[in-house]
Amino acid sequence: MVTFEQFLADAATKGEAVNILFEEWLFGLVGIMHKITGALATEAIPYEVVGGLAVLIHVEEANPEHTTLTRDVDLMIRRADLERLKEMAYLHGFRFRHEAGVDMLVYGETDSARNAVHLVFSGEKVRPHYDSPTPAINPVPKMILGQDVMVIPVVDLLKMKLTSNRDKDRVHIRAMDAAGLLTAAVERELTGNQQARLQQIRETE
């Protein structure tokens, strides 16, 4: 993985301007993600990076001008792998917590949300009132800061964002759209209700 110091040195050599606060936060967030995803890969536990960090990874690859920062690391795993994940995570410095209906892994001795990895489960509704469950795990490999990671495909990510439909989900959808990720082929994979919701989001930018 590229370190923050290496990144700054490389940017200085190229004469590039850097948003220090943005990049430092990103390196911290991705560092936590790499710790847990590296361990998952070693143990052959299937996973996908989902949520805002998945949006960031896809958008950063397609058109970095539209990248939006996120606060959390969200991973989707299979419910059947949870107990094995708990054991593995503990060996790599993570502690499992269940709080306010959310399963998470916290890294190190701090309880800071910055060090938390939130878990969702494939084939289950994230919230009881959601109209559809999460998709099956079927990730695509991506690279961020010099290390490979398995990420939810754009179409599945879009469906999850349309299902949640919170303010931040709509921001993420607009970022993906602006980056050219929401192609006609992606839209054809949506249900009628999902297409209508996407159109509404586009009309209320």
158 vs 69 pLDDT, higher one: 158
Q: Which residue has the tokens 């289950």?
A: 124
Average pLDDT estimate for 42-67: 95
Residues in the chain, overall count? 205
Average pLDDT estimate for 118-136: 93
Average pLDDT estimate for 99-125: 84
102: confidence class by pLDDT, cuts 50, 70, 90: confident
Average pLDDT estimate for 120-144: 94
> Tens of pLDDT along 75-86?
999 999 999 999
Average pLDDT estimate for 17-27: 62
- Which pLDDT value is given to residue 178? 96
- Which pLDDT value is given to residue 7? 46
64 vs 158 pLDDT, higher one: 158
C-alpha span between 107 and 19 (Å, rounded): 26
- Which pLDDT value is given to residue 99? 84
Domains in the chain and their CATH numbers?
Answer: 4-153 (3.30.460.40)
| Cβ within 8 Å of residue 155, ≥6 positions away | 186, 189, 190
| % of residues, the chain, pLDDT over 90 | 68
23: confidence class by pLDDT, cuts 50, 70, 90: low
- Which pLDDT value is given to residue 115? 65
pLDDT of 109 strictly over 90: no
Contact 100, 113 (CB under 8 A): no
| % of residues, the chain, pLDDT over 70 | 84
> What are the backbone angles phi and psi of residue 39, rounded to the nearest 5°?
-65, -40
pLDDT of 118 strictly over 60: yes
The letter for the amino acid at 1 is M
pLDDT of 160 strictly over 80: yes
Task: Tell me which residue of 128, 179, 144 sits closest to 158, measured CA to CA.
Answer: 179
Give the up-direction half-sphere exposure of residue 55: CA atoms within 13 A in the CB hemisphere.
27
> C-alpha angle with apex 48: 44 to 50, nearest 5 degrees?
160
Average pLDDT estimate for 1-18: 56
